[in-house]
Amino acid sequence: MDAIGKFFLTRPSWLFALVATALIALPIAIWLDLRNLSDQNMRRQATSLNNIISSVRSYYAQNVVGRILASDGNTQLLHNYGEVSGAIPIPATLSIELGDAIGSSEGAVKYRFVSDFPFKSRPQHRLDEFETMALASFRSNPENDVLVQNSGKLWNQKITLATPVVMSGSCVSCHNGHVESAKSDWEVGDVRGIQTVSVNQPIALNIWTFKWLLGYLGVAGTIGALFSIMQYRLAGKFSLVNEELAANNEFLADISVKISKYLSPQVYKSIFSGEKDASISTERKKLTVFFSDIKDFTATTEQLQPEELTELLNNYFTEMAQIAEAHGATVDKFIGDAIVAFFGDPETKGTAEDARACVRMALDMQHRLQELEQTWHEKGLEHPFRARMGINTGYCNVGNFGSADRMDYTIIGAEANLAARLESIADPGGIVLSFETYAHVKDIVNATPLESVAFKGIAREVVPYVIVPENSAPRVNAIQETPDGNQLTVDLKILDEKTRRKLRDVLQTLVHDANATKKQ
């Protein structure tokens, strides 16, 4: 069965040829069977007619010609002609006896001549329901000249045709004057009785007439049954395949969700949409690169247990990654406590807008870290995370780097390194920009240039720009006072360099004044 299915699947022209043959064969089979049916019906009708004529001829030879010849030509018309030598039957008697003769010789055709007014010497005719109705109908409506009844069973059809027997002039004079007539007031045109012809035809007689159509249906049915079996088996296989596909799709969906955790949304989307191939290839593009790390991360984490450090670091990365995704950044990687991200690939809004989006992202990150400081303090973290951030705009190589078996989507180039160098000179909570980045964002932030710096690995001297916070005053939680007012704690790491210097000068003055007072 599978071989047949594969045969037609690999050779569709054969299937089309089979269907075309079936369409052509159907009208041919019907035409052959109609011709055969016509031949059989004509043969059956000819046989029936021959038997009827033979019965009439035999009856006529025996009861008419034979009796006349036996009496030397002397004859008379009598209803009881058999009792008188040389007599011949009257028309009514002839019809009755001829019906019996035809019925005995031709089983499929029956002829009856019946009346409800038979001669007194004859037995009463037994009229069935249809004959009684037909006789009443002919007498009540003289215009009716034929009635037809279809009867029989599903496998045996029968048709009966009834016509009236109307009295003519000679019949009226004969019947009205005959001693055995049941009625003596007949008039011309009266209906004396009816004659019926019944044709009985069993379905079995014609069933084999449609041998071509039956053969066609047999072949078509066999092919249809085989096709149904094939379809049933294919449906079962398809059901299994669909179940496997559903399971595989669910598995792949689960895997893709897990894989997405290792890729930035933009990279994940470009790979799974087919925009990028998983092959080693790179492009040179102008990107805005972002680099950040946590100030004094090692010293901070030495005071924490591994479980606490893991939870805290994951919380930090989660918060920063959500902000990066909201601004459309491609997060390259997490390196220890550092975050590397860039704008401009695989999606870009133009160099200027990419730079502006990156700076807005950095500002939001610093703002969120300020909000988180209080939460981390409440959890017992003495020195909350403070991030330094560097941003640079320039040409980098971006794409898939690695081996044929394992690749990493990342960026390389001096401009990427410059972002890391700028981050290294930033104050905790500060953002340092390169000149090109600053040129794109100077209308949305305030930045102060620093002295030019020669960074290691960078061929040119760079003028860094430090973003000036909108509110440079120390945050409240940088200076904490005990409820009794006897102790004041200042977190110098939280304060920016300018504030620390000013605070140091004030403290030195206070200490100097206190010492001078003691000496006095």
Number of domains forming the structure of the chain: 3
Tell me whether residue 331 is in a domain.
yes
Q: In tens digits, what is the pLDDT along the chain, a chain of 520 residues?
A: 566 656 656 667 776 777 778 778 778 877 776 777 677 667 666 666 677 777 777 777 777 777 787 787 778 777 777 777 878 887 777 777 777 777 666 667 788 888 888 887 778 888 888 889 988 998 888 788 888 888 766 667 788 888 998 888 878 887 887 778 888 888 888 888 888 888 877 666 666 666 777 787 788 788 778 777 777 877 888 888 888 888 888 887 787 777 766 666 767 677 666 666 666 778 899 999 999 999 877 776 777 788 888 888 899 999 999 999 999 999 988 988 899 999 998 889 999 999 999 999 999 999 999 888 888 877 777 777 889 999 999 999 998 888 877 888 889 999 999 999 999 999 999 999 999 999 999 999 999 999 999 888 888 899 999 998 765 434 444 565 555 555 666 666 556 666 777 777 878 887 777 777 766 6
Residue 295: the pLDDT is: 85
- Which tokens sit at 124? 């009463």
Contact 410, 333 (CB under 8 A): yes
Q: How many CB atoms lie within 10 A of CB 454?
A: 9
Residue with tokens 């140091």: 504
Identify whether 346 is preceded by a cis peptide bond (ω within 30 of 0). Answer: yes
Q: DSSP readout, 121-176?
A: TSPPP---HHHHHHHHHHHH-TT---EEEEEEETTEEEEEEEEEEE--HHHHHHHH
Contact 327, 364 (CB under 8 A): yes
CA distance 253 to 344: 28
Alpha helices in 457-496 (DSSP H): none
Query: Do 187 and 99 share a structural domain?
Result: yes
List the beta bridge partners of residue 479: 490
Residue 435: the pLDDT is: 94
Strands 330-335 and 281-294, by their bridges, are: unpaired
Query: Do 310 and 161 share a structural domain?
Result: no
Tell me whether residue 254 is in a domain.
no
Query: Do 65 and 181 share a structural domain?
Result: yes
Strands 431-433 and 465-467, by their bridges, are: antiparallel
CATH number at residue 162: 3.30.450
Give the three-class secondary structure for 285.
strand
CA distance 503 to 232: 88
Query: Do 487 and 461 share a structural domain?
Result: no
Nearest to 46 by CA among 113, 104, 99, 106: 106
Tell me whether residue 223 is in a domain.
no
CA distance 259 to 257: 5
Tell me whether residue 171 is in a domain.
yes
Identify whether 91 is preceded by a cis peptide bond (ω within 30 of 0). Answer: no
Domain boundary among 203, 228, 260: 203
Contact 52, 102 (CB under 8 A): yes
Residue 423: the pLDDT is: 94
Tell me whether residue 258 is in a domain.
no
| Domain containing residue 365 | 278-467
CA distance 229 to 238: 14
Query: Do 508 and 390 share a structural domain?
Result: no
| φ, ψ (nearest 5 deg) of residue 214 | -65, -40
What angle is formed at CA 427 by the lines to CA 422 and CA 428, rounded to 5 degrees?
Answer: 115
Contact 446, 463 (CB under 8 A): no
CA distance 515 to 503: 18
Q: What is the DSSP letter of 372?
A: H
Query: Do 416 and 292 share a structural domain?
Result: yes
Residue 128: the pLDDT is: 87
CB proximity list for 37: less than 8 A, separation 6 or greater: 206, 209, 210
CA distance 481 to 484: 8
Tell me whether residue 450 is in a domain.
yes
Please state the separation of Cα 425 from the chain's center in Å. Answer: 61
Domain boundary among 188, 203, 218: 203
Residue with tokens 């409506």: 141
Query: Do 314 and 171 share a structural domain?
Result: no
* C-alpha separations of 183 from 126, 176, 263, 514 in Å: 18, 7, 117, 166
Query: Do 176 and 35 share a structural domain?
Result: yes
Determine whether 96 is exposed, middle or buried from the number of CB atoms within 10 Å of its CB (0-12, 13-18, 19+): buried
Tell me whether residue 365 is in a domain.
yes
Tell me whether residue 1 is in a domain.
no
CB proximity list for 481: less than 8 A, separation 6 or greater: 487, 488, 489
CATH number at residue 444: 3.30.70.1230
Strands 387-402 and 281-294, by their bridges, are: antiparallel
Strands 465-467 and 447-449, by their bridges, are: antiparallel
Contact 288, 351 (CB under 8 A): yes
Query: Do 438 and 503 share a structural domain?
Result: no
Query: Do 184 and 333 share a structural domain?
Result: no
Query: Do 417 and 294 share a structural domain?
Result: yes
Position 445, amino acid: V
Domain boundary among 180, 203, 226: 203
Q: Rounded to two decimals, what is the model's pTM?
A: 0.49
Q: Which long-range contacts (CB under 8 A, 24 or more apart) does 16-24 make?
A: 18/223, 22/220, 22/223
Q: What is the DSSP letter of 180?
A: T
Query: Do 486 and 445 share a structural domain?
Result: no
List the beta bridge partners of residue 341: 290, 331
